[in-house]
Chain A
């Protein structure tokens, strides 16, 4: 059976589908992509049993066929071919013969495919209760908080991003790894029925973040324990993390001891330099805040020490020293896209709250590191 397809769009689609395929998969068929070819479309499907991708591209053929093939090998050869139309010839034993229509190239490449038989059934997108988002909007909701989510899979609830509609017409996304938390609330011009909120696994979040473009729209829906995203020609189907997201509102300080205003870039650069003199996993630096300045200090035995001073604007004449993970501070400051930020201080053992100066709906909360002295203090 002969299929005519653009090399560029086939390569792009295979790469989208293959990105979630795990090479460690025990199930052989799942290390492949499924190709469903009809008269004018080719659908490429992949899954790792937690998340599935279905993406479509235009192609021409006179019949229908389904086969499975190793996406990595397929994309490797496509990458090396000139950008001319391709002719694929798939026979009954799923041998995929790839020919470029380029006049410059005389070659023959045949990739062994597999029968699609054992490939699991992937549910179809349901339009019920679907919400339409601007892609750029959803991308922000994700990217502004995903850095705070736990990469560790021990606590699944934290290994994802929580979406909830706290009040009608708003949507909030939250990420946390239990040592820090990031929260973003934005208003939308429609009802978002998210019930008590849903937790989308971090792997799905990464996939979405990659697929979402600054412009265009996308649709979202969910049923039971699955959620669906439709972004241009690609659908993502993912499980929803089962579990109760903790009460994050309780963590957000209601009032601060005092607040300071800092120039974002200056602060970020400073922390970056000082952090060089810290060690993982604590990356501990000390922020000494007093007299309208912060003195940042790092001191690590057998490594070295650093000290920097930057000017700030404080709303009270207070004085405090807070130990904090410099990496967390950098992660937060990088996402603050305003020239100045405010830092709400609540105490030595209480959270540090960072927000863009004019936007209290985006919060980054970092728990401090306390330096304790042992015994008879």
Chain B
């Protein structure tokens, strides 16, 4: 039996390094993050043989004081925090003081750095014996050269994938870091030439456009929500834009790309109504919050973070995605650029009484009530002064209202829009609501668990206009229905209500689900006769400010084509 002994220093270092430096891309990530923390505006990366032979990261940041150079590679040495309390308020990427020390443990490292205010900087390089420092008089900023990565850990080297896939991982790492930093220029050179060229961009939107191209950018729309603690924004797919992988689902918390295993699930759920199975909407999401509310220090590579209130964050992301979906979707949404450019400027929180999003409605008592989100009016309405509903051109296929308004053509799914209007008037009924008594009460038989559920929620039904009594152990008597329901199929309403109540994926409280079921059955359907008055009224209602442009089940119901797009179609522009 071997005795327990403390491992030699070099072995300890290698083990610790293994957590931070798992592959060449992690070296790149750590070094580029250091450059950003140093306030660089230009970061150039060179890699050779997938980074195994050589990685060079050069920046024009603040540089390292020549006297501190030898400390840079020491363990737990950092300029970014001073005491333990700073960990709770981390504003920089690094703080653990591990990166350079870990990298130097598994490679040959050379650091060249000069601060702009100093005449001479320092050069530090590793040798067999240790580190040596000499003078350096090159350009201001820091250059880190990492050579022969993992030369002393053959086992790790064996696990690395091919050079090609290492290079791809490096490229993806740089792009992911580059998105929230549009003001920093990035380049990547590999053995076979230039792989990334990102000039300074004026906004995150422009940066995404640089990376993914204008075509994809036009398939995304920008949305934003904010409250006192958190500013959330993101670029989301328009309903038609779906990818076959989740590669465009990225979550940034305070500009740090983090892995959040529920992200894909949340986005997919929000897009359930429009997304096909096996296709994934894009969602590049930025959460900016008080650093005290995030715990970054749970993963050595900081890939995961702990958020203060997972449920709240999930609701926030769902809210963003739903907002994105409820916009009118156009062939080309040119509105995102101006609205995005103002990003970064602190926004005063508007005191307008914004309509509550159904999911956040406080009427659903069993929901933990999150701080209310302030919903900004959809950008679309900023430039619309006249509240004209436009000119109704007709009804296509007996189901879609076509209308001309403000130099655009709108297609409106009548049934879904009607559902939304009825739903809204049921949910925001105010003090009073109307209940139509029935000549013949409807007796409904229910499975025993539904019967119990219904009796539990009988108040909520009566708040919407139903008059329900317990009739027997398994049946109920309905003697009045909401007047707005008209001649709707009452048993259908209850069937739909129970289906959505049992479906845990559907958001919203009991009252919302009742309202949604009523709205669905009361709304006119494709094929129903639509009078001019009906369409006129409906179109007028949905173009008012604050109306969510999705039906209560989540499907969007407005599609816009700009005059500009039509002119382009006919080669007139």
Contacts and interface: CB of A to CB of B under 8 A. Distances in A.
B429 interface: yes
Given A251-B440, A367-B439, A374 B487 contact: no
A281 B483 contact: yes
A363 to B, nearest CB: 12
A216 to B, nearest CB: 34
A365 B439 contact: yes
Interface stretch (A174-182, A188-196, A220-228): A174-182
Contact of A372 (B432, B486, B489, B492): B432
B465 interface: yes
A279 to B, nearest CB: 8
B551 interface: no
A12 to B, nearest CB: 28
A282 B483 contact: yes
Contact of B492 (A154, A176, A181, A282): A154
Interface string B453-476: 000000000110100000000000
Contacts of A284: 434, 483
A282 B434 contact: yes
A281 B429 contact: no
A354 B465 CA distance: 26
A357 B112 CA distance: 107
Contact of A369 (B437, B442, B522): B437
B415 to A, nearest CB: 15
B31 interface: no
B486 A374 contact: no
B463 A374 contact: yes
A282 B465 CA distance: 13
B487 A152 contact: yes
Interface string B515-533: 0000000100000000000
A368 interface: yes
Majority SS at the chain B contact face: mixed
Contact of A373 (B431, B436, B442): B431
B484 interface: yes
Contacts of A178: 438-440, 442
Nearest to B541: A302
Contacts of B522: 281
Interface residues of A, number: 33
A113 interface: no
B362 to A, nearest CB: 13
B489 A152 contact: yes
Contacts of B440: 176, 178, 246, 251
B487 A281 contact: yes
B435 interface: yes
Interface string A325-363: 100000000000000000000000111000000000000
A323 B335 CA distance: 47
B559 interface: no
Given A150-B487, A282-B484, A181 B434 contact: no
A64 B489 CA distance: 50
B439 A370 contact: no
A177 B484 contact: no
A370 B434 contact: yes
B569 to A, nearest CB: 34
B439 A179 contact: yes
A350 B439 CA distance: 9
Interface in A277-319: 279-282, 284
B463 to A, nearest CB: 5
Contact of B435 (A176, A248, A351, A370): A370
B489 A371 contact: no
A282 B436 contact: yes
Nearest to A181: B439
A281 B438 contact: no
A270 interface: no
B498 interface: no
A284 B435 CA distance: 10
A365 B440 CA distance: 12
A325 B436 contact: yes
Contacts of B439: 176, 178-181, 248, 251, 351, 365, 367
Given A154-B492, A374-B429, A374-B431, A349 B437 contact: yes
Interface residues of B, number: 26
B438 A372 contact: no
B434 A369 contact: yes
Given A150-B487, A281-B484, A369 B436 contact: yes
B438 A369 contact: no
Nearest to B484: A282
Contacts of A351: 437, 439
Interface string A194-230: 0000000000000000000000000000000000000
A307 to B, nearest CB: 18
A154 B486 CA distance: 13
A372 B436 contact: no
A210 to B, nearest CB: 20
B494 interface: no
B232 to A, nearest CB: 33
B434 A371 contact: yes
A179 B438 contact: yes
A170 interface: no
B487 to A, nearest CB: 5
A59 interface: no
Nearest to B481: A179
A342 B433 CA distance: 29
B480 interface: yes
A349 B436 CA distance: 9
A79 to B, nearest CB: 26
B475 to A, nearest CB: 16
A227 B483 CA distance: 36
A374 B438 contact: no
Nearest to B435: A370
A325 to B, nearest CB: 7
Contacts of B442: 178
A178 B432 CA distance: 23
A151 interface: yes
A282 B486 CA distance: 7
A174 to B, nearest CB: 11
B486 A323 contact: no
Interface string B373-394: 0000000000000000000000
Interface in B486-513: 486-487, 489, 492
Nearest to B544: A302
A248 B439 CA distance: 9
Interface string A148-174: 001110100000000000000000000
Interface string B198-223: 00000000000000000000000000
A376 to B, nearest CB: 11
Contacts of B487: 150-152, 177, 179, 281
A374 B428 CA distance: 12
Nearest to B486: A281
Contacts of B437: 179, 349-351, 367-370
Residue in B486, B489, B522 with the greatest tally of chain A CB atoms within 10 Å: B486
A375 B432 CA distance: 10
A304 B82 CA distance: 68
A68 B434 CA distance: 53
A179 B485 CA distance: 12
Nearest to A150: B487
Residue in A150, A279, A365, A367 with the greatest tally of chain B CB atoms within 10 Å: A367
Interface of B: 429, 431-440, 442, 462-463, 465, 480, 483-487, 489, 492, 522, 534, 537
7 contacts: A246-B440, A282-B436, A325-B436, A369-B435, A372-B435, A372-B462, A374-B433
Given A371-B433, A372-B432, 16 more contacts: A150-B487, A176-B439, A179-B436, A179-B439, A248-B439, A280-B486, A281-B484, A282-B436, A284-B434, A323-B434, A369-B436, A369-B483, A371-B435, A374-B429, A374-B433, A375-B463
Interface of A: 150-152, 154, 176-181, 246, 248, 251, 279-282, 284, 323, 325, 349-351, 365, 367-375
* A-B pairs with lowest CB-CB distance, top 4: A281-B486, A282-B483, A367-B437, A154-B489
